[in-house]
Structure 1
Amino acid sequence: MAHIIVVGNEKGGSGKSTTSMHVATALVRMGHSVGTLDLDLRQQSLGRYVENRRAFCEAGGHTLATPEYINLPEIVSEDVPPGVNLNDHRLSLAVQSLEADNDFILIDCPGSHTRLSQMAHSMADTLITPLNDSFVDFDLLARTRPQDGAILGPSVYSEMVWAARQARAQAGLRPIDWIVTRNRLGSQQMHNKRKVGDALSKLSRRIGFRVAPGFSERVIFRELFPRGLTLLDLRDVGGDRLNLSNIAARQELRDLINTLNLPGVKVRF
């Protein structure tokens, strides 16, 4: 069966689609087959990312490693088995269609709580939660006491992950490997950065996730999306000099893939 990677939290602007595209493309470049889904049915940033990539390749005659992307199937309520939620059935059908031909299925979730997102989390073998390095985003994981920052308990998103873990345990499935990545890290060891890091470290032991460095704030990520490119493509398409910042960003991606510890994956880029 395909290993399912879910990229999700309940806050927009944390880098979910950038993370999704870079992880999926890196796996394809390393020789793995990857199918992808975007559950943000309104914005579909990952879907548009893949569309931009295909258009760029077609216009410029490039051949770039590209993950398979499909939309959720459109079905009518009459075709849904009795007692089954329509959107649950759509997601199940999409995953089934990708499983036969792919080593990995990557699902990009919306920045809000939806039925589809909830179901996707229960399907995750690996869960990646990108988090901007601030207490605004940290609040998604846990409630803290304003006076001293003490952790009072899990917040709404953590509770959803806990429910997904319980559902998997009841179904006899393997536990979710949950990785929280710290995006937009500042280059300096600022006081707030240390405080967020300490809080994540404490919380990780309480509710069971691993902390990993994500992507720093870089202009290059905003420039890549319109062409559907990733950091790994710059040498292939020409016209983009690999400066020190881009080289550092590639290393961040390499470190992330290593940290994910996906089955059968040996980092080669």
Structure 2
Amino acid sequence: MGETGKGTAAQDRDSLSPSMLLPTEHRPRIIVIGNEKGGSGKSTTSMHIIAALLNQGYAVGSIDLDARQGTLSRYIENREASNLNHDMGLLMPQHRRVYISEKATDQERKAEDEANLEEAAMSLWANDYLIVDTPGSDSYLSRLGHSLAEVLITPMNDSFLDMDMLARVAIEQEELKLTPSTYSQMVWEQRQKRAVDRQPPIDWIVMRNRLSHIDAKNKRDMEVLLGHLARRLQFRLAPGFGERVIFRELFPKGLTLLDLENQRTGVQMSMSHVAARQEVRSLLKAAGLTEERA
């Protein structure tokens, strides 16, 4: 065929959200891990959710939209290496990396980002769950990933500096003023887009990560402010992970805390490990991901 149909198709494509370009039947449940700040624990959270769902007997696909940094992809590669080199018998997801487009024009970049994400999602569409790890920066590809979310989990370090990602906090005339950030506005836009497309609403969950084990005033103040923000921005609060060395130690082997009952991992369980694993299970429960498969 000639060039006639290309312009119309491109216009139609631009007018639809990516979720409308994917099959509406037999779709996996899509969980997006998102935060525009790096170092919040997105990839660690993603890998633990993946392992939890695999251990429950679900088929899981995963997409790394932060492919250039590729922390989740390296985590999964390390897991595969542990299976190959040490016969650990670890369950594996189907995984895809999606690189951000480097085309010359904005229109070309957007078209390629859409095509690449759609291709990756379609290759994983037969799974029960699809986990999408997004970059710690704002980009068109990241926004596309967020638009697919049925559940959006946002890890954030437990500090006022990181809370700025959700809202800017100021005190004016002894009154607290909260102004939604660009990330919160972006999530709101994706919620509106899904409503227009008659897609299920996004269940947004914010998890407080790297929690201090000391009951400090800063920690209590964060809890109060996040409670205000949860009502205003319409998200749910969930328990996150404490600041523990074990999370960094497991990465080179591609392990999660949920794998440690496997004797072939060679990791001796300690009380700290047990407490950390309970933190993971509390998050899964809050996100509704603990129901055993029938």
The answer to whether the superposition gives a TM-score over 0.5 is yes
Contact 2:171 2:177 in 1 (8 A): no
Measured in 2, the distance between the counterparts of 1:29 and 1:241 equals 20
Change (3 A) 1:194 1:37: same
Measured in 1, the distance between the counterparts of 2:49 and 2:129 equals 11
Measured in 2, the distance between the counterparts of 1:19 and 1:82 equals 32
Measured in 2, the distance between the counterparts of 1:181 and 1:47 equals 22
The answer to whether residue 197 in structure 2 is matched with residue 171 in structure 1 is yes
Q: Please, which runs of 5 or more residues in structure 2 have no aligned partner? A: 1-26
Cα deviation 1:33-77 (Å, max 9, x = unaligned): 110010112111000000000011110122111211122389998
Change (3 A) 1:238 1:42: closer
TM-score normalised to structure 2 length: 0.84
Matching residue within 140, 156, 169 for 1:115: 140
Matching residue within 214, 221, 236 for 2:240: 214
The answer to whether residue 130 in structure 2 is matched with residue 105 in structure 1 is yes
The answer to whether residue 280 in structure 2 is matched with residue 243 in structure 1 is no
Cα deviation 1:100-119 (Å, max 9, x = unaligned): 2x000000001000111101
Mapping for residues 89-238 of structure 1, pairs under 5 Å = 89-100=115-126, 102-146=127-171, 150-236=176-262, 237-238=264-265
Per mean C-alpha deviation after superposition, the further-off stretch among 7-16 and 234-243 is: 234-243
Measured in 1, the distance between the counterparts of 2:161 and 2:99 equals 36
Query: Structure 1 stretches (4+) deviating beyond 6 angstroms?
Result: 73-77, 81-84
The answer to whether residue 85 in structure 2 is matched with residue 59 in structure 1 is yes
Specify the structure having the higher radius of gyration (Cα): 2
Measured in 2, the distance between the counterparts of 1:84 and 1:139 equals 28
CA shift for structure 1 position 239 = 2.6
Contact 2:151 2:202 in 1 (8 A): yes
Cα deviation 1:210-237 (Å, max 9, x = unaligned): 0011100000001000111111112212
Measured in 1, the distance between the counterparts of 2:275 and 2:175 equals 32
Contact 2:65 2:141 in 1 (8 A): yes
Contact 1:144 1:150 in 2 (8 A): yes
Measured in 2, the distance between the counterparts of 1:259 and 1:238 equals 28
Contact 1:257 1:267 in 2 (8 A): no
Contact 2:65 2:99 in 1 (8 A): no
TM-score normalised to structure 1 length: 0.92
Measured in 1, the distance between the counterparts of 2:102 and 2:176 equals 49
CA shift for structure 1 position 97 = 1.3
